[in-house]
Chains A and B, each alone.
Chain A
Amino acid sequence: MLRSSWPRAGVGNLKSYYLDTNIFLARYSPGEKEHESSRTLVDATESGKQRAITSTLALVEIASLVRRSPGKFPEKTSPADAAGAFVRRALSVRNLTYLSLGGDMAIGSGGFQARVPLLFSAALKAAKTIPVRTLDLLHLASAYMAARVFGEDLDFFTTMDEGILGFRKEVKDFLGYPAVTPHELVRLESL
């Protein structure tokens, strides 16, 4: 569900971007190459300089990644506790809107028909032109639905995912705006 009481994305000079899961995690990983730019981006979002949208899928990815993280967990913090803490923080980022999967739509014809979530329909559309993995497609589909279904205009798709960044032209053709890294967005927007 959209947090509809917030200012709409793309209104006035306020730029909006899709925030991929890896940026949120890089913000809390000091050894990460994009740590500083991810931190700047999340801080700029919280202070209202930018608006961000992401998929509820990100919450599951955060929980999954933290839970199976290869590093050493502190004695008093179990992997499950850590996952819960990161999910709680992700949910509390100000000016970050979580997109729902949308309603269902019927696809197919004749005897071959299924009702599928709108998100999956958008992902099927993305799969026609962008040869990336399933979860990448679902993030791209969320960004696509943000504008077309929920009326949220976005300016950038921000990610550190090389699989997605490897198809910048196709992503721009599909979404209508570019895929950029956090570092590129920070530079482009002088954050």
Chain B
Amino acid sequence: MIKAVTARLPDDLVRKVDAAVKRGAFPNRSEALRTILEEYLSDHPELFLETSAKELLGEKLSDQELEMLGAKIFSGSNVAKLVAEGRGR
């Protein structure tokens, strides 16, 4: 099903789209806008993840701070073994 959508676009953007249609890159405006939208959405899957890259990162800590943190949280453990366990062993 195809829906008609009204969008307000700046003049120069419309001129660029029309120029691309005139050069034969697209058969018409609608097809041009469909292709451009599809490509953008395909290049940005993060838009559908409902999270941002920033959210995935924690605070910036120095190597010394990370080593102190590692000493606490990995205390008494063998990290190679923990990684191996995470891999199903």
Given contacts A86-B66, A135-B88, contact A21 B83 (CB under 8 A): yes
A155 at the binding interface (Cβ < 8 Å): no
Query: Chain A residues with Cβ under 8 A from B66's Cβ?
Result: 28, 85-86, 89
Partner of B73, one of A26, A64, A72: A72
Tell me the bound Cα distance from A74 to B59 in angstroms. 14
Tell me the bound Cα distance from A66 to B80 in angstroms. 13
Residues of A at the B interface (CB closer than 8 Å) are 20-22, 25-26, 28-34, 61, 64-66, 69-74, 77, 80-89, 91, 133-136, 160-163
Q: Can you list 16 residue pairs at the A/B interface with Cβ under 8 Å?
A: A22-B83, A25-B74, A26-B79, A31-B71, A64-B86, A69-B74, A73-B72, A81-B59, A85-B60, A85-B66, A89-B63, A91-B57, A133-B87, A133-B88, A136-B87, A163-B84
Residues of B at the A interface (CB closer than 8 Å) are 56-61, 63, 66-67, 69-80, 82-84, 86-89
